[in-house]
Chain A
């Protein structure tokens, strides 16, 4: 399986996936930490995270996958939602709740 296929499988077989630096317990970047915190506050309990620092191929591959050059990256039901700025903005406007609610309920 290529890296792109591997990423595709990860984001399509898990409802909420965050590609981040570090882990949700020990984020290694302020932007990643912020998104984890927002997701927790939004009621997400089953968050799958991928630590890009642990795998150089994933770290490079994920930038290509969404045509997005920075980490973190949030995916919901296989769809790329955004990075830290977008997730923060959507959290503030209530849009994030609308995206996450059906997924949280279905879990």
Chain B
């Protein structure tokens, strides 16, 4: 296995600033770098990178590689893969950490195949085997029913990391990284999908991923109307509403509200699950909540295994009384 040197974190930007997940990766990557006795670096792709570059340095990146190219601003997977291939050639990292975001979960696998190396998707834990110095990656499988620990047989070892699986890195404004510009060549022909239209509607109110309180409903609600009840409760608590996949698939609520393995990952302080059974694929998106409260008429429902507080009974009776009591308490 060829050596490589350094843990390289692929940064991702939103409005010229690093997204929180990049900071989480720098934290996890810093610990790995320590165990390996190797440096921690970051790479940023796009244009207008200077602020984000300083930010990455203050979060612990020794070198910040800058791959500047206008095609990289558009979120084209192929352009990012092409650029990262060139960055890897220059930086020769032993480990590459990518956020499993919309972009990263495609860039990671494609880069791995392009480089002919291995990849572990959706890591929630990373460590170094003390004997082999190989990465050990923990990832949920079977919908979250089980955890697998995997090792990767080539360098660089590429890992896409589940957002919110790690704390953000501590910031030290006095840290100055070394900026290394990587001249990347990206022929426009590599981009083979054309974006005809982007339709994005931010839901009104609190953003699901950032909400401190989420009130979510499942198939047991039986239709779209009950979500209005949940909405009332969520508003009182200063939060927003979410849902299980069947509720979204049935069209009772917008698909953007789906929480879980193939929906959003959230870590609110309080998660109220109403008529949700607690399937592992659902819990994959909300088990990081500080406190889970479950309302379900089946005392054996799995949700009670993960909840801190539970009420067994019919939501039709429980929810209005709960909402009313909350209204009085928060007044």
Genuine A/B complex? no
| A→B interface (CB under 8 Å) | none
| B→A interface (CB under 8 Å) | none
